[in-house]
């Protein structure tokens, strides 16, 4: 059974710090990797996608992928209180089967 694992948190960081969120997956054929942000009472919002090994940066967000280690991470630089949310890691094999992790709750303290 395909699994995606994340630390449930909560992960607490001070405002302005770097938040590091980690995710591991079990299925080696996974090709695409996503990070979703979900505010309380809202639906998940796609914030990052990554498909090849290495880093991908978008504003304050950097996704990192290491397929050999089956590991994907999300770094949030200059964390803001508005970044406080649950972050869901998701993996898929060619867009047919999406598997979501349990989510990591991030709290950015002012």
Partner 1 sequence: SAVISQKPSRDICQRGTSLTIQCQVDSQVTMMFWYRQQPGQSLTLIATANQGSEATYESGFVIDKFPISRPNLTFSTLTVSNMSPEDSSIYLCSVGGSVQHRNEKLFFGSGTQLSVL
Contact residues: partner 1, CB under 8 A: 32, 34, 42-46, 49, 88, 90, 92, 94-96, 98, 100-103
What length is written for the chain? Answer: 110
Q: How far is CA 75 from CA 7, 29, 40, 55, in A?
A: 14, 24, 21, 10
Nearest CB to partner 1, comparing residues 65 and 90 = 90
Nearest CB to partner 1, comparing residues 65 and 101 = 101
Q: How far is CA 10 from CA 33, 43, 44, 105, in A?
A: 22, 19, 18, 5
Minimum distance from residue 55 beta carbon to partner 1 (Å): 19
Nearest CB to partner 1, comparing residues 33 and 64 = 33
Beta bridge partners of 73: 22, 64
Minimum distance from residue 16 beta carbon to partner 1 (Å): 28
């Amino acid at each position: 059974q395909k699994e995606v694992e994340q630390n449930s948190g909560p992960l607490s960081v001070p405002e302005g710090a770097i938040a590091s969120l980690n995710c591991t997956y079990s299925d080696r054929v996974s090709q695409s990797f996503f990070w979703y942000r979900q505010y309380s009472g809202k639906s998940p919002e796609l914030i990052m996608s990554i498909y090849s090994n290495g880093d991908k940066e978008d504003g304050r967000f950097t996704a990192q992928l290491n397929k050999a280690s089956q590991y994907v991470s999300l770094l949030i630089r200059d964390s803001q209180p508005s970044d406080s949310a649950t972050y869901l890691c998701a993996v898929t094999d060619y867009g047919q089967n999406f598997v979501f992790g349990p989510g990591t709750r991030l709290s950015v303290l002012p």
